[in-house]
Amino acid sequence: MPQAKLLTDLQRWRDTGAIRPEQYDVLSALVRKERFSLFVELHTLVYLGVVSIIAGVGWTIRVHFQGLGDTAILFALTGALAGCLYYCFSRGRDYSNDRVEAPGFAFDYVLYLGCLVLGLELGYLEFRFQLLQGNWDNYLLLSACVCFVLAYRFDNRFVLSLALSTLAGWFGLRLSHFPELGGASLRTSALIYGSLVAAAGAGLFRAGVKKHFLDTYLHVAANVLFVALVSALFERRSDDLYLMGLLGLAGLAVVAGIRFRRFAYVVYGIVYGYVGISVRFLREVSSDTSILAYIAVSSTVVIVSLVVLARRFGRDE
């Protein structure tokens, strides 16, 4: 098909609303054989490459540590960590409470790789030498603290996410050490952790420290809190307070997402709220026909609602 006809068809589809203006821009650029951005694709490939490297190194150490020897493994890991840190500190820009752009394409991933190497080295130390024995989870705390410092120093949300996930591991384990919590469940840990993460993110935002990190804090906190509340509803003797808490949090997420133009939180509120209501409703229904009818109708309503909201968000933004 000639290029001119394709462009004419694309313009007609755009004018009739069949495709959005952004889609028209991308497709017309392809038809004209213009250059287009591979930013997202390249970042995804580099991220997967970093994770694959760490996975490969971890597998090699796990399988061949006796043949390689502790000295060689620790020397190699320490060298890799030192190299990553030297690269970042020698090329990184000065610290600022505001957003700081990375000095190069690979910079964020070198820092991320260094943090993963640190976690791998600490894990190997404990595996081989049991230096902390019963308090081994303090390695998680140390790793989380280092990642937090590096995330703020170099304005890296990858490393911030790693710090928050590592802290979650330490937090859950550490809560279980307190007998007054009665062997606190993972759910209790998750509820406390999620609340503290949300509060910390909001506090740093109000203080003007890396305000653009707030989304990272809230995404982590929202998912942890929602999963914890939904998991409680799967228990036969779950308290109605969990359902009320879930619906309240879902409503807050939807309202805040619409107000602040953050569609992800709208999705969280609708999807998690729907799952919670469905779990409680289906527990009271015994007829297979009623169950299938409910699932078919309710899931369709939820999907259509999300599509309509997504289109509206796309037009407004």
* Residues spanned by the domain of 266: 185-317
Structure token pair of residue 244:
């009320």
Q: Which residues touch 230 (CB under 8 Å, ≥6 apart)? A: 246, 272, 275, 276, 279
The mean per-residue pLDDT over the stretch 176-182 comes to 43
**pLDDT score recorded for residue 5:** 67
> Last residue of a domain, which of 124, 150, 182?
182
Cα–Cα distance for residue pair 153/94, rounded to 1 Å = 8
* Residue 84 in domain: yes
**pLDDT score recorded for residue 211:** 93
Same domain for 86 and 167: yes
Same domain for 198 and 250: yes
Same domain for 222 and 195: yes
Share of the chain above pLDDT 90, in %: 41
Show the DSSP H helices in the chain as ranges: 3-16, 21-31, 39-68, 70-91, 107-129, 138-154, 157-175, 186-206, 214-233, 240-259, 263-283, 288-316
Q: For the segment 263-313, what is each residue's pLDDT rounded down to a tens digit?
A: 899 999 999 999 999 988 888 777 778 888 888 888 899 998 888 888 777
Same domain for 145 and 226: no
3-class SS of residue 235:
coil
Predicted confidence band at 33 (pLDDT cuts at 50, 70, 90)?
low
Predicted confidence band at 190 (pLDDT cuts at 50, 70, 90)?
confident
**pLDDT score recorded for residue 235:** 76
Q: Give the count of domains, the chain.
A: 2
Same domain for 231 and 133: no
Whole-model pTM?
Answer: 0.79
Amino acid at 290: S
